[in-house]
Amino acid sequence: MIEVTGLTKRYGRKVAVNDLSFTVRPGVVTGFLGPNGAGKSTTMRMMLDLDNPTSGSVKIDGKHYRELSEPLKHIGALLEAKAMHGGRSAYNNLLCLAQSNRIPASRITEVLDMVGLTSVAKGKSKGFSMGMGQRLGIASALLGDPEILMFDEPVNGLDPEGIHWIRNLMKGLATEGRTVFVSSHLMSEMALTADHLIVIGQGRLLANTSMADFIHENSRSFTRLRSPDRERVKDALDEAGITAVEGTGGVLEIDGVEPERLGELAARHGIVLHELSSQRASLEEAFMRMTAESVEYHAHTGPDGGGAPATGWGSPGWGTPAGGGNDQGKGA
């Protein structure tokens, strides 16, 4: 378990991390999300004692990182790919880490095998591709067989097979009861991997909630209905007191009514339907909606400034974000 309490980091006048408090629990994969510059890496560095907090604290299984005698046996981290000694072989890089933490050399062979680098174990790591460097970083995180694992952008540089592998690895580690904390900008990947989310913006906590609740609370869900008999559908809906919004291509969008009820209503009126489907926004849309106000670096790609998601944004029925995007500790 990782406990973060009142964590703050200032660089001069810049507040990179602003009074963050949350707990990362074992047994699930916890995703760490935030726009560029939100303070994710700074938070992770402070968790590993690589940076001193201005105030507040981080406890790793109840202890400060500095109090852990052989830290790699408690917490393993992938912070920056290729943070290894380029002139050393993959094996020797891991050997140095193993020796400083009294980890048997046999474990090096095991982790190299786990990450698929056995055949290049003797190769100097400076010749490694980005994906190989990432795998070596992951091997170093796993070396001490720790209960807590932290991965900063682990899928960077990995090919689809590698992404699939790291996803299953993280899920497997959580299933074993370990604490897995992972940051990524790849929302589709995060949606497949994480069970719980910590979201920050401009150093502040925006959400601490389950993946399902985060998407549910920050997105519009509706039922999409398409029929060759649209006018009769509209009459039937009117009669039943159900409001429909006209979407593109003759589609009707209905908020807050399950497809089952709509299907039964259509059947009662003998109306043919060509489509009846539940629409749920993606994690990416929910994330952009929640963090819209705390994005520091915008690309101005169009009249709207490029800050809004393409789908659903601003369409009828899409309400204001709960708590104006600042609902701290929601659902915790």
- Between 22 and 91, name the residue whose CB sits nearer to ligand ATP: 22
In this chain, which of 40, 167, 204, 330 binds ligand ATP, going by CB under 6 A?
A: 40
**DSSP state, residue 7:** E
Q: Collapsing DSSP states into helix, strand and coil, what is residue 304?
A: coil
* Residue 38 binds ligand ATP (CB under 6 A): yes
Q: How far is the CB of 296 from ligand ATP (least distance, A)?
A: 7
From residue 293, alpha-carbon distances to 41, 307, 311, 315 in Å are: 20, 9, 18, 19
* Residue 52 binds ligand ATP (CB under 6 A): no
Q: How far is the CB of 192 from ligand ATP (least distance, A)?
A: 20
Q: Up-side HSE of residue 313: CA atoms within 13 Å toward CB?
A: 16
* Residue 41 binds ligand ATP (CB under 6 A): yes
- Between 35 and 162, name the residue whose CB sits nearer to ligand ATP: 35
- Between 35 and 146, name the residue whose CB sits nearer to ligand ATP: 35
In this chain, which of 31, 39, 76, 144 binds ligand ATP, going by CB under 6 A?
A: 39
Q: Amino acid identity, residue 282?
A: S
Q: What burial class does residue 266 get, using C-beta atoms within 10 Å of its C-beta: 0-12 exposed, 13-18 middle, 19+ buried?
A: buried
By CB under 6 A, the residues from 255 to 294 that bind ligand ATP are: none
- What torsion do the CA atoms of 12, 15, 17, 21 make, to the nearest 10 degrees? 120
Q: 38: closest CA among 206, 200, 211, 219?
A: 200
* Residue 144 binds ligand ATP (CB under 6 A): no
Number of residues that bind ligand ATP (CB under 6 A): 11
Q: How far is the CB of 46 from ligand ATP (least distance, A)?
A: 10
Q: Which residues pair with 9 in a beta bridge?
A: 17
- Between 133 and 312, name the residue whose CB sits nearer to ligand ATP: 133
CB 194 within 8 A of CB 287: no
- Between 46 and 142, name the residue whose CB sits nearer to ligand ATP: 46
By CB under 6 A, the residues from 6 to 35 that bind ligand ATP are: 11, 14, 16, 34
- Between 39 and 133, name the residue whose CB sits nearer to ligand ATP: 39
**Strand ranges for 142-285 from DSSP E:** 148-152, 179-183, 196-201, 204-210, 221-226, 245-246, 252-255, 275-280
Q: Site residues (CB under 6 A) for ligand ATP?
A: 11, 14, 16, 34, 36-42
